[in-house]
Amino acid sequence: MQHPHPGRARRREAVTFYLLISPWLVGLLTFTLIPIAVSLGISFTRWDMLSPPELVGLRNYARLLDDRLFWQSLTVTARYTLMYVPTELVGGLLLALLMNQVDARGIRLLRTLYYMPSVLSGVAFVVVWMWLFHPEAGLINAGLAQLGVQGPRWLADPHTALTALWMMSLWGLGRTAVIYLAGLRGIPRELYEAAAMDGAGAWRSFVGLTLPLLTPTIFFNLVLSVIATFQTFTSAFVATNGGPLDATLFLVLYLYRKAFQEFQMGYASALAWVLFALILAFTLLVVRSGRWWVYYEGETP
């Protein structure tokens, strides 16, 4: 009985809370949650945006099973994820270890340079890479020709197009590296000093110290990377438009094509929900696996 009207005070506090977060809440509802809910509804219809939507039940989802291009886009996306995620995790870590040299001269400049591609407009750097990959006039094949090697036709060849997009994407390793760098900085120096005193060399302290303490960061990067790769769009949209012969037809690109080029909104929405379910399933899988290999400071191992 310290306060005469405890309920009222709590209510006022709640009102203040919702008032304060309302700008964000309105944005979230209008531009994210409601459209997401609506897209689920649309996925059960046939809708070209010009005539009223027509309810078709689960037809769109059933059609997916027979759609050769859907399976092709799934294969492309899976292959790319298998190629890209490991290289991003390992490459980003190597880059971060290099950038973690505190005393090296010019290290700040180097860090900025490595991070720079992540800030650039996606379309702009894809266009630059398209020139690098040009089969006749491109720098890459010109370099290979110097070595006496006849370079492949890169983006114009279904066998090399996905690899070319993968090479292109390594340009963005700096973003992962910066997160790793933050993780590396979080490891107390005393631990290394203690390890050194115990006679551990560089490799031993990396394997025994750095890696285990870095597992939460690796875990975070892994999840981030899986989600982002499933949503790959820009590079394929600009550089290959899904070709040649659908070799780079990513799931999101196929979705975009169905929605904004063929205007089959119902089918595209069904694709979007399948994509969402896939990403959710893989993310949960990764999160579940985390308990076996992720070590948090303060926990007893």
For binding to another protein (CB under 8 A), which residues are involved? 32, 35-36, 39, 48-51, 63, 130, 134-137, 153, 155-158, 182-183, 186, 214, 216-217, 220, 223-224, 227-228, 230-231, 233, 237, 239-241, 243-246, 252, 255-256, 259-264, 268-269, 272-273, 275-276, 279-280, 283, 296-298
Other CB atoms within 10 Å distance of the CB of residue 164: 24
User: At its nearest, how many Å lie between another protein and the CB of residue 235?
Assistant: 13
User: At its nearest, how many Å lie between another protein and the CB of residue 139?
Assistant: 14
Choose between 22 and 241: whose C-beta lies nearer to another protein.
241
User: At its nearest, how many Å lie between another protein and the CB of residue 155?
Assistant: 5
User: At its nearest, how many Å lie between another protein and the CB of residue 241?
Assistant: 5
Choose between 110 and 153: whose C-beta lies nearer to another protein.
153
User: At its nearest, how many Å lie between another protein and the CB of residue 8?
Assistant: 31
Choose between 95 and 155: whose C-beta lies nearer to another protein.
155
Choose between 25 and 104: whose C-beta lies nearer to another protein.
25
DSSP H stretches of helix in the chain: 6-28, 34-42, 59-66, 68-99, 107-119, 122-133, 139-146, 161-169, 173-185, 189-197, 202-205, 211-230, 234-239, 251-256, 265-293
Q: Which helix (H) or strand (E) holds 46?
A: strand 45-46
Residue whose C-alpha is closest to residue 259's, from 247, 278, 272, 243: 272
Choose between 113 and 128: whose C-beta lies nearer to another protein.
128
For CA atoms 75, 78, 79, 80, give the dihedral sign: positive
Q: Alpha-carbon distance 271 to 263, whole Å?
A: 13
User: At its nearest, how many Å lie between another protein and the CB of residue 48?
Assistant: 7
Tokens matching residue 2: 């310290």
* 3-state SS, residue 55: strand
Q: How many CA atoms lie within 13 A of 78 on its CB side?
A: 8
Choose between 20 and 36: whose C-beta lies nearer to another protein.
36
